[in-house]
């Protein structure tokens, strides 16, 4: 085994332990592994079956030797601990070959079962099978131990290395016992240690564990059921349900917390219903007549898989938001959501691009006074108007006199052409066809019952056929004057069916500029154009990454002058395994970013907050490249840019309930000779009161990219960084 493979193998071990708590945290993994050894036989058995499964999965090719993941083997870890917990024990020296043979067999059976069951769950439900394979396997091996006489339900508890007699109230004692039971060490000390590890890693996760147990505690009292009635400390199932629904598979928030409460109640009812007794067929002196059946992790698996699968089937995804980022840490997932998806769009609202090029006047918007009413209220009419307020050239005699007539219409999103009407004649100016109200039109299906409609098109201008696939931005027709249209214009809407006249649907327009009365434009990343607004699509700069010199393998160096002294700072662009780009500074700072639709977006900042990269992050929350024009916009920068780790984590913990800290920025981009100047003013509000303000500027041009950046506070200039060299390396 190569050294690198050995390192990866060693790292996968704590990762397997962490997976039990839906985590990829090394800290949680090491903590959970350590606490299992409070019960030496349980800890050793779990470790032994885990190693067996990891070796087998690599030898048989289920995963590579350089894999650092323990996901494939964590079910085998659980089955090893379960067998050790139930197996008769009177000292380490009394363990027989039968015990170790059983561990090996159980480890491999559970591994194969997990591979098969997980594949079925992923292909059928689009969700991992979690510990379902363990639960199935555990039932069979528990039954084997009972039938073989190795488990009688008496005196099977395993000795602990130490178990101090801690005097706690019934609530807390049962909570810690339930936590410890997750790793088959139902001991108060084990539970306390696991709770401490959980709290240090994720406060949201710790809170939800208390929510899950509190519901269990209340329901146990309501049904007057003891801790061990048919359950192996019932709280552990409900703790895991609350944690999974509230913060792992869903982005933490009010709705996910409420759903976690409901799921926890459902899990309790399921656990109660599955509780039962196993009666022996024959009587034996000294042996009880029956055993309570353990339900292992069936409730958490059934409830979580069912609920998450059901949420994936929503026609219009709204809150709670699915965690599709592959980030298991609740706070990190919430931060990624806030600094990424939620910042740039609105959950559950489809996002479409402008269907026309150039500057257009919205002559009728949502709920317009003429025709945009009732089921057809969520639509726009677009026309071209010149600086004099006219929509036609010298004389209004023919259709071609209108600026809009014959202009190209583009697909607002990719999809398949669902319906085409192309043979209705255009009306003369002032006339309308009230029989064919929609005139010539194209509807495009974007899946899930969502369509876009382009109506009143020019006769014969549609060159597509029904069933054709169109890309976003592909020309589909020309603006006309067919149907109920007195003057040439484009009617555009999202709707629920292929036929014209289907119910209109709410949607946003992406990345457009709104002309301002005082001059310049206001950039809107995602919004609803209003009637009377003059808007145009932001033309994306396809080569923005190279212009800013932030392509993969590129680096640039800056001369920095700050209150902390003068130094040079180098930035290098890196890429992680998930495809996320980073600017990495040798001043020990790191900025995650994306370049999407020709717009640079700063996502998250870690490390040295006195670096030039941190100053750049203040100014470059968002950079929509636009030359020879003035552009303003508002943004809500990532929390990590404006506050340190402590305040960020506190804010993330409170955000699901209320938002005590709010960050806003006002930015202005203007032409500066051959370059561009960007200024951003970032405001930090605490309980609605402005606590702090930072002003940052960047000078840009096509030749040098980032020429300089400056950061100011209330007292004046804090830092200046000036570009003086750049280079590109080939790291492929």
Rounded distance between C-alpha atoms, residue 722 and residue 698, angstroms: 10
Rounded distance between C-alpha atoms, residue 631 and residue 625, angstroms: 9
Domain check: are 324 and 358 in the same one? no
Count of alpha carbons within 13 Å of 502, Cβ hemisphere only? Answer: 25
Q: Is 230 left (phi over 0), alpha (psi -120 to 50) or beta?
A: left
What pLDDT shows up at residue 231?
42
Angle at 602 between CA 600 and CA 605, to 5 degrees: 155
* Three-state DSSP state, 14: helix
Residue 336 inside a domain? The answer is no
The domain total for the chain is 4
Residues 6+ apart with CB under 8 A from 617: 591, 602, 605, 637, 641
> Is there a contact between 453 and 443 (Cβ–Cβ < 8 Å)?
yes
Rounded distance between C-alpha atoms, residue 28 and residue 24, angstroms: 8
Rounded distance between C-alpha atoms, residue 281 and residue 295, angstroms: 21
Angle at 265 between CA 264 and CA 268, to 5 degrees: 90
C-beta atoms surrounding 318 within 10 Å: 11
The rounded average pLDDT for each run of 10 residues, N- to C-terminus, in the chain (732 residues) is: 84 93 88 92 95 95 90 95 84 72 96 96 91 94 84 68 85 92 90 92 94 93 59 78 95 95 95 75 58 85 95 80 84 84 68 94 89 88 91 84 95 96 92 90 93 96 95 96 93 94 91 89 92 92 86 90 91 84 93 88 89 93 84 89 86 89 90 84 89 91 88 92 73 44
Ranges assigned E (strand) in 275-406? 277-279, 290-292, 351-352, 359-364, 379-383
Domain check: are 513 and 368 in the same one? yes
* First and final C-alpha spacing in the chain: 26
Following DSSP, what letter does each residue of 67-132 receive, concatenated?
----GGGHHHHHHHHHHHHHS--S-GGG--HHHHHHHHHHHHHHHHHHHHHHHHHHHHHSS--TTH
Residue 612 inside a domain? The answer is yes
What pLDDT shows up at residue 644?
83
Rounded distance between C-alpha atoms, residue 194 and residue 188, angstroms: 10
Question: Structural domain of residue 58, as residue ranges?
Answer: 1-156
* Burial (0-12, 13-18, 19+ Cβ within 10 Å), 524: buried
What pLDDT shows up at residue 450?
92
Residue 91 inside a domain? The answer is yes
User: Which DSSP helix (H) or strand (E) runs through 46?
Assistant: helix 40-59
CATH number of residue 369's parent domain: 2.70.70.10
Residue 327 inside a domain? The answer is yes
Residue 165 inside a domain? The answer is no
Rounded distance between C-alpha atoms, residue 150 and residue 106, angstroms: 15
Domain check: are 588 and 662 in the same one? yes
Rounded distance between C-alpha atoms, residue 193 and residue 216, angstroms: 21
Domain check: are 473 and 589 in the same one? no
What pLDDT shows up at residue 162?
78
CATH number of residue 239's parent domain: 1.10.3430.10
Residue 339 inside a domain? The answer is no
Domain check: are 552 and 690 in the same one? yes
User: Which DSSP helix (H) or strand (E) runs through 58?
Assistant: helix 40-59
Torsion of the alpha carbons at 163, 230, 209 and 86, rounded to the nearest 10: 40
> Is there a contact between 27 and 175 (Cβ–Cβ < 8 Å)?
no
Domain check: are 35 and 117 in the same one? yes
Residue 338 inside a domain? The answer is no
> Is there a contact between 368 and 381 (Cβ–Cβ < 8 Å)?
yes
For residue 598, whether the previous peptide bond is cis, meaning omega lies within 30 degrees of 0, is no
How far, in Å, are 407, 426, 557, 675, 678 from residue 711 at the CA level? 45, 58, 17, 19, 12
What pLDDT shows up at residue 156?
64
Domain check: are 26 and 11 in the same one? yes
Domain check: are 78 and 55 in the same one? yes
Rounded distance between C-alpha atoms, residue 95 and residue 87, angstroms: 10
Domain check: are 264 and 284 in the same one? yes
Domain check: are 531 and 421 in the same one? yes
Q: Which of 156, 189, 210 is the last residue of a domain?
A: 156
Rounded distance between C-alpha atoms, residue 329 and residue 18, angstroms: 11
Residue 163 inside a domain? The answer is no
Rounded distance between C-alpha atoms, residue 425 and residue 308, angstroms: 51
- Taking alpha carbons only, the member of 247, 272, 270 closest to residue 260 is 247
Angle at 334 between CA 330 and CA 338, to 5 degrees: 175
Rounded distance between C-alpha atoms, residue 693 and residue 686, angstroms: 12
Domain check: are 601 and 476 in the same one? no
- Taking alpha carbons only, the member of 236, 290, 238 closest to residue 267 is 238
Q: Which of 156, 185, 217 is the last residue of a domain?
A: 156
> Is there a contact between 408 and 357 (Cβ–Cβ < 8 Å)?
yes
* Three-state DSSP state, 28: helix
Q: Which of 480, 513, 537 is the last residue of a domain?
A: 537
Beta bridge partners of 351: 508
* Burial (0-12, 13-18, 19+ Cβ within 10 Å), 234: buried
* Burial (0-12, 13-18, 19+ Cβ within 10 Å), 303: buried
Alpha helices in 564-682 (DSSP H): 612-619, 639-642, 645-654
Domain check: are 249 and 121 in the same one? no
Sign of CA pseudo-dihedral 659, 665, 666, 667: negative
Rounded distance between C-alpha atoms, residue 399 and residue 480, angstroms: 8
- Taking alpha carbons only, the member of 626, 642, 656, 645 closest to residue 713 is 642
- Taking alpha carbons only, the member of 626, 595, 620, 625 closest to residue 605 is 620
């Amino acid at each position: 085994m190569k050294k690198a493979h050995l390192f990866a193998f060693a790292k996968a071990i704590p990762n397997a332990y962490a997976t039990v708590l839906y985590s990829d945290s090394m800290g949680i993994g090491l903590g959970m592994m350590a606490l299992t050894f409070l019960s030496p036989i349980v800890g050793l058995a779990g470790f032994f079956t885990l190693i067996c499964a990891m070796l087998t999965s690599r030898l048989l090719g289920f995963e590579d030797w350089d894999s650092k993941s323990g996901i494939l083997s964590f079910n085998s870890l659980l089955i090893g601990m379960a067998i050790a917990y139930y197996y008769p024990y009177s000292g380490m020296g009394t363990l027989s070959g039968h015990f170790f043979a059983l561990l090996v067999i159980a480890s491999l059976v559970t591994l194969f079962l997990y591979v098969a069951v997980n594949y079925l769950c992923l292909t059928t439900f689009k969700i991992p099978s979690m510990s379902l394979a363990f639960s199935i396997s555990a039932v069979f091996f528990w039954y084997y131990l009972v039938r073989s006489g190795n488990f009688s339900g008496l005196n099977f508890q395993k000795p602990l290395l130490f178990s101090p007699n801690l005097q706690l109230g019934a609530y807390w004692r049962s909570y810690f016992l339930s936590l410890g039971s997750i790793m088959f060490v139902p001991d108060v000390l084990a539970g306390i240690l696991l709770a401490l590890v959980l709290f240090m890693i994720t406060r949201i996760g710790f809170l939800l564990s208390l929510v899950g147990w509190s519901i269990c505690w209340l329901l146990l009292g309501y049904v007057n059921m003891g801790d061990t009635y048919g359950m192996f400390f019932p709280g552990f199932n409900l703790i895991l349900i609350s944690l999974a629904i509230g913060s792992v598979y869903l982005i933490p928030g009010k709705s996910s917390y409420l759903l976690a409460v409901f799921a926890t109640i459902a899990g309790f009812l399921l656990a109660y219903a599955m509780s039962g007794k196993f009666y022996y067929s024959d009587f034996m002196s000294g042996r009880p007549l029956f055993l309570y059946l353990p339900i292992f992790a069936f409730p958490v698996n059934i409830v979580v898989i069912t609920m998450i699968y059901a949420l994936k089937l929503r026609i219009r995804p709204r809150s709670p938001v699915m965690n599709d980022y592959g980030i298991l840490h609740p706070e990190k997932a919430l931060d990624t959501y806030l600094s990424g998806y939620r910042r740039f769009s609105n959950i559950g609202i489809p996002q479409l691009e402008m269907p026309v090029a150039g500057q257009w006047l919205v002559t009728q918007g949502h709920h317009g006074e003429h025709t945009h009413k009732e089921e057809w209220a969520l639509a726009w009419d677009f026309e071209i108007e010149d600086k004099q307020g006219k929509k036609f050239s010298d004389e209004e005699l023919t259709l071609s006199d209108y600026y809009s007539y014959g202009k190209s219409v583009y697909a607002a999103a990719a999809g398949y052409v669902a319906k085409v009407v192309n043979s209705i004649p255009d009306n003369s100016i002032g006339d309308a066809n009230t029989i064919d109200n929609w005139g010539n039109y194209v509807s495009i299906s974007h899946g899930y019952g969502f369509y876009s409609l382009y109506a009143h098109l020019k006769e014969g201008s549609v060159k597509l056929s029904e069933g054709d696939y169109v890309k976003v931005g592909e020309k589909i027709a020309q603006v006309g004057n067919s149907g109920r249209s007195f003057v040439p214009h484009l009617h555009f809407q999202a709707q629920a069916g292929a036929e014209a006249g289907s119910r209109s649907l709410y949607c946003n327009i992406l990345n457009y500029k709104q002309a301002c009365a005082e001059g310049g434009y206001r950039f809107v990343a995602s919004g609803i154009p209003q009637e009377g607004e003059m808007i145009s699509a932001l033309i994306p700069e396809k080569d923005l990454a190279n212009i800013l010199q932030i392509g993969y393998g590129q680096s640039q160096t800056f001369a920095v002058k700050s209150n902390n002294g003068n130094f040079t700072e180098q930035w290098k662009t890196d890429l992680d395994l998930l495809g996320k780009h980073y600017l990495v500074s040798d001043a020990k700072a790191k900025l995650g970013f994306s370049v999407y639709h020709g717009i640079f977006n700063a996502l998250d900042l870690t490390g040295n907050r006195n670096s030039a990269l941190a100053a750049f992050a203040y100014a470059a929350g968002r950079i929509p490249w636009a030359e020879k024009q003035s552009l303003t916009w508002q943004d809500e920068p990532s929390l990590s840019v404006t506050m340190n780790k402590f305040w960020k984590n506190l804010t993330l913990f409170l955000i699901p309930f209320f938002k005590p800290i709010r960050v806003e920025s006002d930015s202005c981009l203007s032409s500066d000779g051959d370059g561009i100047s960007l200024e951003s003013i970032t405001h930090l509000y605490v309980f609605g009161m402005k606590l702090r303000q930072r002003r940052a500027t960047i000078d840009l041009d096509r030749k040098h990219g980032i020429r300089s950046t400056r950061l100011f506070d209330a007292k004046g200039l804090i830092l200046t960084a000036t570009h003086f060299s750049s280079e590109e390396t080939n790291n492929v």
